[in-house]
């Protein structure tokens, strides 16, 4: 499932890094965010300048760090909260939402 | 892409970790194992390490991770001989996590500095 909720809140940003965007997106039921899928997710995040985090059950990880993403231990079907802050934040979240929904084992 | 070399006393450890890193990061990254001494013993040999560095080198630099102790000395000795032209970098990083982090950063097209930093930053990463 793709983004079920999206927000765009420039006023939320306390810093000058740029606009903040946040979406939630669910992992495919049969795909955990581990190994190759996690690497594909991280590689997508790295393409953007924005600071990007991924939250799972209250734990938040740097989406550009494979070790941080692996440590989330997100299993298939888990809802990920993606937050991006920077000039290309909306584009980063669009790309990550597409990446997540297209992940395969 | 930046090449990755994994130097271990153990042939199996180096090859197993290389296989894992390649599976996670993708086979387009050159992750080269350099493990074991002569005749299947535990140890490290300069020629084996140097050959792995040569295989890993695509011209954009090589990050070398070593498991423990004399693995580090073997790599240092090679680098001090001056055979590398400055773009082979030995990093002080946890072996498994550093290798995975470096391989993924390389596969994302990051440069030598970024790949080396990712490996070194792995020291502070929690497993869960």
- Could you say which of A34, A70, A94, A95 is catalytic? A34
Q: Which of A1-5, A27-31, A71-75, A88-92 has the lowest mean pLDDT?
A: A1-5
Contacts of A38 in chain B (CB under 8 A): 24
The values of phi and psi at residue B33, to 5°, are: -80, 145
> A8-13, long-range: CB within 8 Å, 24+ apart, which pairs?
A8/A90, A13/A85
Whether A34 is catalytic: yes
Question: B126 with A71: CB under 8 angstroms?
Answer: yes
CA–CA dist A9, B43 (Å, integer): 57
CA–CA dist B127, B86 (Å, integer): 33
pLDDT of residue A48: 97
- Counting the structural domains of chain B, the total is 1
Give me the CATH number covering residue B78: 3.40.50.510
Q: What is the pLDDT of residues B48-106, one digit of tens each?
A: 999 999 999 999 999 999 999 999 999 999 999 987 777 999 999 999 999 999 999 99
CB contact under 8 A, A36 and B107: no
Model confidence at A73, in pLDDT bands (50, 70, 90)? very high
Model confidence at A1, in pLDDT bands (50, 70, 90)? very low
pLDDT of residue B58: 95
Q: How many CB atoms lie within 10 A of CB A46?
A: 21
Question: A84 with A50: CB under 8 angstroms?
Answer: yes
Q: What is the pLDDT of residues B96-105, one digit of tens each?
A: 999 999 999 9
Top CATH class of A18-101 equals alpha beta
Does position B124 have pLDDT exceeding 50, yes or no? yes
Q: Please give the residue range of the domain that contains residue B87.
A: 3-124
Nearest CA in chain B to A65: B101
Interface pTM, i.e. ipTM: 0.92
Question: A84 with A21: CB under 8 angstroms?
Answer: yes
- Across the interface, of B23, B25, B122, the residue whose CB is closest to A67 is B122
Three-state SS letters, A12-69:
HCCCCCCCEEEEEEECCCCCCCCHHHHHHHHHHHHCCCCEEEEEECCEEEECCCHHHH
Does position A66 have pLDDT exceeding 80, yes or no? yes
Over range B108-118, report the average pLDDT: 97
Q: What is the pLDDT of residues A2-19, one digit of tens each?
A: 444 444 454 444 445 788
């Amino acid at each position: 499932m793709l983004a079920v909720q999206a927000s765009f809140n420039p006023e939320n940003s306390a810093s000058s890094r740029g606009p903040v965007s946040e979406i939630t997106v669910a992992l495919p039921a049969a795909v955990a965010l581990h190994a190759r899928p996690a690497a594909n997710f991280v590689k997508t995040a790295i393409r953007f300048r924005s600071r990007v985090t991924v939250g799972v059950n209250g734990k938040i990880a740097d989406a550009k760090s494979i070790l941080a993403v692996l440590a989330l231990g997100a299993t298939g079907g888990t809802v990920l909260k993606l937050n991006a802050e920077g000039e290309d934040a909306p584009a980063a979240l669009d790309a990550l939402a597409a990446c997540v929904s297209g992940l395969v084992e | 892409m930046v090449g990755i070399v994994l130097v271990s006393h153990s042939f199996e450890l180096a090859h197993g970790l290389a296989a894992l890193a390649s599976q996670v990061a993708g086979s387009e990254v050159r992750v080269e194992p350099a493990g074991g001494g002569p005749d299947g013993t535990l140890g490290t040999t300069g020629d084996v390490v140097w050959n792995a560095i040569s295989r890993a080198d695509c011209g954009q630099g090589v990050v070398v991770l070593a498991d423990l102790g004399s693995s580090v000395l073997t790599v240092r000795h090679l680098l001090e001989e001056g055979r590398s032209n400055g773009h082979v970098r030995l990093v002080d990083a946890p072996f498994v996590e550093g290798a995975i982090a470096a391989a993924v950063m390389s596969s994302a097209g990051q440069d030598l500095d970024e790949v080396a930093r990712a490996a070194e930053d792995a020291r502070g990463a929690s497993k869960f």
